[in-house]
Amino acid sequence: MTFLGWLTIFLFVGLLTAFAIPFGSYLAAVYTGERTILDPVLRVPERLLYRILRVDPNNGQNWKQYAKSLILFSLFGWLLLYFILRTQTLWNFTGLNPMHFHSAPWNVTFNTTSSFMTNTNWQYYGGETTMSYFSQMAGLTVQNWLSAGVGIVVAVALVRGIVSRGGSSIGNFYQDMIRTILYVLAPLAIVYAILLVFQGSIQNFSGYLTAHTITGLTQQLGMGPVASQEAIKMLGTNGGGFFNTNSAHPFENPTGFTNFLEMLSVLIIPAALVFMYGKMAGNRRQGYAIYATMMVMFLGAVSVAYIAEAHGSPAQHAAGLHTAVIHGSTGGNMEGKEQRFGIAGSALFDTVTTVTSCGAVNSAIESFTGIGGAVPFANLSASEVIFGGVGTGLYSILLYVLLAVFIGGLMVGRTPEYLGKKIEAREIKLVSLGILITPLAALFCTALATASKAGRASIDTAVAHGPQGFSETFYAYLSQANNNGSAFAGYTGFIQPNAGNLGSHGITFADLLGGFDMVFARYAPILFALAVAGALVGKRISPAGLGTMRTDNPTFVVLLIGVIILVGALTFFPALLLGPIVQGLTPHLY
């Protein structure tokens, strides 16, 4: 460990908070219809889009209508993306398939389409050997925007349900979607993409280059419109890399500066949404309490990851390497890590992208030490409430807040109330289902894949022996259920002997199981969150009294952390023991 390593971590936290607070106020203005500084520029395109889409922004929807629009919109998005990916060569006339890649097989495409629609971006394929530029842009990039938008609008709808004073409207889905894209994502993505190119990311449509190296070898260089996709991939907590090695690839993440920027860009919207919530609730301390809860858990996770990775791995020590800091080298577990990011920049990055549903990686998670690799596991086991995906994080932790209020209310013997609204049997049933559905999907799929021969076919037996094979499998379905998309990358559902998909085939079991895992664990919690919004929206707000349990003080933060850890630990501990914890506690090699 180094001083600069810890400094990076703490500067990151400080800068994130400093940017997120004002941005949260901006978001509140966007979603309550107040004037924003971008109104003069964006009012015209906004109205134009309403007219083209035949949306009446004054037409508020109840939760069922809102959910119906959301599902229809997602369904059409799925169909168009599947069509584009399966007809890849049909679009060659655009000139955006210079390497003449064929389509991936139907089962891999089913998985990929479900993956990008659900903000997961789990990838069984490698971008530079599978996807044309057209598929990357018009297919995958589009869902990078839209799936992020869907997450955000659900969070906004739930917040409206909690803070509203009567009526049944939780907003208009299409209006929320359009405002999210125009006012929130677009301005950030445009500036950010250009910053990435300024630092060295590529953005072109040329075919792959062939270099003749100074020692007489040849080298092929993948090209493409990378920066535009990279920007929205990080901002929307999507995480699907243009290249197979994701944000480790120098064209996606060229410098230490971009590494820092990419980490900030992942957390900025999830963090700002929490402050937005405080503002919309009329009590900023409600937002601070949730932010504190998230930050405590985040700092714990990143510290453990950094310490573990700086210590080095049993395999390194067995090979005789010294992993202490020496002059000119940080030491530590550099297996699967890039020199320009170092240990701290890798541990922080992978913590940031696994607490959120981003899932981008700048280092190989499978090569993390047992304890370092247990951190992504633990982050996923906490069901993405530590900041979480854009929107997903806020609506998921609000479900936990309601659960904590209920448990707290039982402990003090009063009817549970949150922001003056009574939490009754119906809400708690919906909340419990919303919380439990993701772990259920993850564990069910893991069990099925571990117990069946078809599932074990996906394990990379060349490197994954003993508990690592289980870790690979468990991580795959946990990551897909949480819509994260990061991977112990040895686990595969796609056999691709040649670049360009000729002669390739998918592993149907893993492709379909993963695809359903993602869709189910995305849309079921969304429906429960919207149903909770619907149940709360019309409730009367009773004034706070002396006996009201406060939800904006440190006591509540501790209670909330306790509930999150308890649910996560009770659900996942047995499975975690079999994989990463065994690997972390033993110096034994398998």
Partner 1 sequence: MRKDIITSAIGIVVLTVLLGIIYPLFITGVSQVAFPGNANGQKVYVDGRLVGSKIIGQNFADIVYKNGKPEMSDGNPVTTPDPHYFQTRPSGTDPADNDAATEFANYGPNSVVTKAALVANIQAYIALNGKYYPGGLTAAKIPVDAADTSASGVDPEISIANADIQAYRIAAIRHLSLATVDGLISKYTLGRGLGFSGEPGVDVLEINLALNRLSPSTR
The reply to whether 204 sits near partner 1 by the rule CB under 8 A is: yes
Residue number, 70 or 441, with CB nearest to partner 1: 70
Among 57, 200, 420, 538, binds partner 1 (CB under 8 A): 200
What is the C-alpha to C-alpha distance for residues 343 and 363, in angstroms, rounded to an integer? 10
Q: Are 334 and 423 in contact (CB under 8 A)?
A: no
- Write down the residue that tokens 């700092």 correspond to: 299
Residue 495 host element (H or E) = strand 494-495
Enumerate residues 342-381 that contact partner 1 by CB under 8 A: 342, 345-346, 361-364, 366-370, 372-373
Among 35, 282, 326, 546, binds partner 1 (CB under 8 A): 326
Enumerate residues 149-178 that contact partner 1 by CB under 8 A: 174, 177
Shortest Cβ 557–partner 1 spacing (Å): 30
Shortest Cβ 522–partner 1 spacing (Å): 17
Please tell me the count of residues contacting partner 1 according to CB under 8 A: 139
Residue number, 130 or 293, with CB nearest to partner 1: 130
The reply to whether 236 sits near partner 1 by the rule CB under 8 A is: no
The reply to whether 105 sits near partner 1 by the rule CB under 8 A is: no
The reply to whether 112 sits near partner 1 by the rule CB under 8 A is: no
The reply to whether 206 sits near partner 1 by the rule CB under 8 A is: yes
Give the bridge partners for 422, in sequence order: 417
CA 110 to chain centre: 20
Q: Are 414 and 562 in contact (CB under 8 A)?
A: no
Enumerate residues 485-544 that contact partner 1 by CB under 8 A: 488-490, 499
What is the C-alpha to C-alpha distance for residues 473 and 461, in angstroms, rounded to an integer? 12
Shortest Cβ 382–partner 1 spacing (Å): 22
- Contact segment (CB under 8 A) with partner 1 among 16-24, 72-80, 277-285, 408-416 equals 72-80
The reply to whether 201 sits near partner 1 by the rule CB under 8 A is: yes
Q: Which of 571, 539, 553, 291 is nearest to 408 (CA)?
A: 553
Enumerate residues 289-308 that contact partner 1 by CB under 8 A: none
The reply to whether 52 sits near partner 1 by the rule CB under 8 A is: yes
What is the C-alpha to C-alpha distance for residues 490 and 458, in angstroms, rounded to an integer? 8
Tokens of 534: 């619907």
Among 13, 299, 307, 315, binds partner 1 (CB under 8 A): 315
- Contact segment (CB under 8 A) with partner 1 among 279-287, 316-324, 421-429, 477-485 equals 316-324
What is the C-alpha to C-alpha distance for residues 240 and 245, in angstroms, rounded to an integer? 10
The reply to whether 322 sits near partner 1 by the rule CB under 8 A is: yes
**Beta pairing, strands 421-422 & 494-495:** unpaired
DSSP state of 143: H
The reply to whether 202 sits near partner 1 by the rule CB under 8 A is: yes
The reply to whether 321 sits near partner 1 by the rule CB under 8 A is: yes
Among 85, 104, 248, 537, binds partner 1 (CB under 8 A): 248
Among 19, 73, 91, 444, binds partner 1 (CB under 8 A): 73
Residue number, 257 or 444, with CB nearest to partner 1: 257
CA dihedral (287, 306, 201, 45) in degrees, to 10, reads: -10
Give the bridge partners for 326, in sequence order: 329
Residue number, 256 or 420, with CB nearest to partner 1: 256
Residue number, 58 or 210, with CB nearest to partner 1: 210
Q: Which of 293, 487, 245, 238 is nearest to 380 (CA)?
A: 487
- Contact segment (CB under 8 A) with partner 1 among 18-26, 422-430, 449-457, 581-589 equals 581-589
Enumerate residues 1-30 that contact partner 1 by CB under 8 A: 4, 7-8, 11
H helix runs in 312-413, sequence order: 314-318, 342-355, 370-381, 392-412
The reply to whether 83 sits near partner 1 by the rule CB under 8 A is: no
Question: Concatenated DSSP letters for 499-534?
Answer: TTSTT-EE-HHHHHHHHHHHHHHHHHHHHHHHHHHH
The reply to whether 58 sits near partner 1 by the rule CB under 8 A is: no
Shortest Cβ 494–partner 1 spacing (Å): 12
Enumerate residues 455-494 that contact partner 1 by CB under 8 A: 460, 462-468, 488-490
Shortest Cβ 277–partner 1 spacing (Å): 26
How many CA atoms lie within 13 Å of 514's alpha carbon, on the beta-carbon side? Answer: 39
Shortest Cβ 153–partner 1 spacing (Å): 13
The reply to whether 38 sits near partner 1 by the rule CB under 8 A is: no
The reply to whether 570 sits near partner 1 by the rule CB under 8 A is: no
Summary count for the chain: helices (H), strands (E): 22, 6
Shortest Cβ 334–partner 1 spacing (Å): 4
Tokens of 328: 């000119």
Tokens of 346: 């890798």
Handedness of CA 272, 276, 277, 282 (dihedral sign): positive
What is the C-alpha to C-alpha distance for residues 564 and 381, in angstroms, rounded to an integer? 10
Residue number, 254 or 389, with CB nearest to partner 1: 254
The reply to whether 260 sits near partner 1 by the rule CB under 8 A is: yes
Residue number, 255 or 283, with CB nearest to partner 1: 255
Enumerate residues 427-446 that contact partner 1 by CB under 8 A: none
Q: Are 529 and 537 in contact (CB under 8 A)?
A: no
Among 208, 502, 547, 577, binds partner 1 (CB under 8 A): 208
Amino acid 552 reads D
Residue number, 11 or 411, with CB nearest to partner 1: 11
Among 21, 158, 193, 355, binds partner 1 (CB under 8 A): 193
Shortest Cβ 98–partner 1 spacing (Å): 12
The reply to whether 270 sits near partner 1 by the rule CB under 8 A is: no
Cβ-based burial of 34 (10 A; exposed 0-12, middle 13-18, buried ≥19): exposed
Q: Are 7 and 308 in contact (CB under 8 A)?
A: no
Helices 508-537 & 142-163, crossing angle to 10 degrees? 30
Enumerate residues 120-139 that contact partner 1 by CB under 8 A: 126, 128-129, 137-139
Handedness of CA 396, 398, 404, 407 (dihedral sign): negative
